[in-house]
Amino acid sequence: MATNTEAFFALEDLHISVLCVILVFLIGCSAFFSGSETGLMTLNRYRLRHRAKAGDRAALRTSQLLDRPDRLIGLILLGNNFVNVLASSLATVVALHLLGETGIVASTVAMTLITLVFGEVTPKTLAALYPERIAYPASAVLAPLLKVLYPLVWLTNLVVNNLLRLFRVRVQIAGNQQLSPEELRTVVMEAGVMIPKRHQTMLLGILELEEIAVEDIMVPRNEVAGLDLEDEWAEIVAQLKLSPYTRLLVYRGTIDQAVGFLHLRKVLNRMAQKPDFDRADLESLVREPYYIPEGTSLTQQLLNFQQRQRRVGLVVDEYGDVLGLITLEDILEEIVGEFTTDPATNNQRKLTARADGGYVVDGRTPLRTLNRMLGWHLPTDGPRTLNGLVMEQLEAIPEPGVRLSLAGHPTEITEIAGNRVKTAVIWPHPIPAAKPTDTAG
């Protein structure tokens, strides 16, 4: 009799031991499903697509799973909930055997803590830190498991998808979102050492082209250098020989009566070959003008220049009046930075640093140029030049010595030329010793 009793208790102890082993296995399965979910959902999708296109089998398998996130999440949650419920049931059985009726409360508390620490927080934290190390191996298990449990997953998703339709949510559309330009800009800026700073600047410049119109970077009409066919012939020849530009606008009397553009290299070659070069020869080399409507984005204009094989055009308003001139180089500078050899433009964009930290700036300097060169954030949705911004804020033509604040930057007008600001001094921050006051009210 004693032998039978000992055998019974030994068998029962073995039974409890097996249940404990199964319980540990189920906790491990719970950790696997929890970590897999976090790892797969936090993967860098663009790196994943790149690796999949390069032929990485693990990346390709993972990408296929993520193509239908509803099925993947259904599978993971189905498995996770199943093992968690089964583990809780087995823990209750073990606790009842060891502790009696009080084991129910003990098993509930113990399983809550164990599942939380080992089945949820730890694996999810690990997967969030190392998503690729978790997701790729996990896909090797989840892919065949999805095939085995597909009928059950399909039934679950059928119920869930119909429920989502009540809230007008379509899974296929919601899972196929694209990056907006602002989000793509953030990706580029946060790339860190993966993209060199210089390349980051160029990529951001490309993204901004769609937001910039031709009139934002054009040379205004009063600064366009041109050749007036109504001038004396000797004057025209002298201008041709001394012009610093490769292409020159040709007009009659006023810039609104544009005849076209002249390539100086061709003109000088013809003048050297033909000693009796005259006006008729000059006009035969003029190429018809190319007009660009104001408001055209730089992205579109870059394509237009390429399609029409042009490098320079005149920006016109809705009435056909010429507003200014823009070149292909002006657009490229928005991407790669300043490289122009235009002496007039260089003078406008030249900043002279002062000992007190301020900068002497030409009033014709574009605000976009100041922002790019100094890293400031002067408003560019209104006036395009420093002179225009001062005029808008003061609503009058200022006198030398007037001080004001431009977007938080103390500014002093130092020189006036006619009806515009010729030069001004701008400080990055207020000067403690003599803080300028805002006269704009």
What integer pLDDT is reported at residue 432 of this predicted model?
45
Kindly write down the DSSP assignment for every residue of 205-263, as one continuous string.
HHHHGGG-BHHHHSEEGGG--EEETTS-HHHHHHHHHH---SEEEEEESEEEEEEEEEE
Poorest-confidence range of 5-19, 86-100, 142-156, 189-203? 5-19
325 forms beta bridges with 219, 314
Tokens of 414: 């130092």
CB 356 within 8 A of CB 431: yes
What mean pLDDT is predicted for residues 144-149?
A: 90
Give the predicted TM-score (pTM) of the model: 0.63
406 bridge partner residues? 409
> With contact defined as beta carbons under 8 Å apart, do 258 and 251 qualify?
yes
State the pLDDT confidence band at 434, using cuts at 50, 70 and 90: very low
Classify 254 in phi/psi space as left (phi over 0), alpha (psi -120 to 50) or beta.
beta
Q: What is the reported pLDDT for 197?
A: 76
How would residue 180 be classed by pLDDT, with cut points 50, 70 and 90? confident
Compute the average pLDDT of residues 252-268.
91
Collect all residues with Cβ–Cβ distance below 8 Å to 431 and sequence separation of at least 6.
Answer: 356, 357, 410
pLDDT tens digits along 194-207: 777 778 878 888 88
Examine the pLDDT at 15 and tell me if it is beyond 80. Answer: no
Q: Which domains does the chain have, with CATH numbers?
A: 2-174 (no CATH), 212-332 (3.10.580.10), 350-426 (3.30.465.10)
The pair of structure tokens assigned to 140 is 């090797």
Structure tokens at 13: 């102890």
Concatenate the DSSP letters of all residues of 61-111 into one string: HHHHHHHSHHHHHHHHHHHHHHHHHHHHHHHHHHHHHHHGGGHHHHHHHHH
Q: How many CB atoms lie within 10 A of CB 212?
A: 18
- How many other CB atoms sit within 10 Å of the CB of residue 253? 10
Mean pLDDT of 113-126: 91
pLDDT of res. 288: 94
pLDDT of residue 203: 84
Residue 378 and residue 406 in contact, taking contact as beta carbons nearer than 8 Å: yes
Amino acid at residue number 277: F
Whether the per-residue pLDDT at 175 is higher than 60: the answer is no
- Using a 10 angstrom Cβ sphere, with 0-12 exposed, 13-18 middle and 19 or more buried, the burial of residue 296 is middle
Average pLDDT, the chain: 84
Q: How far apart are CA 347 and CA 350, in angstroms?
A: 5
Residue-wise pLDDT for 261-309, tens only, equals: 999 889 988 888 888 888 888 999 999 999 999 999 999 999 999 999 9
pLDDT above 90 covers what percent of the chain? 31
What tens digit of pLDDT does each residue of 381-417 get? 888 888 889 998 888 888 999 999 998 899 999 999 8
CA angle 350, 356, 358 (to 5 degrees): 35
b/e sequence 384-400, b meaning 16+ C-beta within 10 Å: bbbbbbbbebbeeebee
Q: What are the residues facing 324 on neighbouring strands?
A: 220, 315
What whole-number distance in Å separates Cα of residue 391 and Cα of residue 68?
Answer: 57
Using left for φ > 0, alpha for ψ between -120 and 50, and beta otherwise, residue 245 falls in beta
Structure tokens at 392: 């808008």
- Of the candidates 141, 157, 116, 123, the one whose C-alpha atom is nearest the C-alpha of residue 42 is 123
Does the pLDDT value for residue 437 go beyond 70?
no
Residue 318 CA to residue 51 CA, distance in Å, equals 50
Cβ atoms of residues 427 and 406 within 8 Å: no
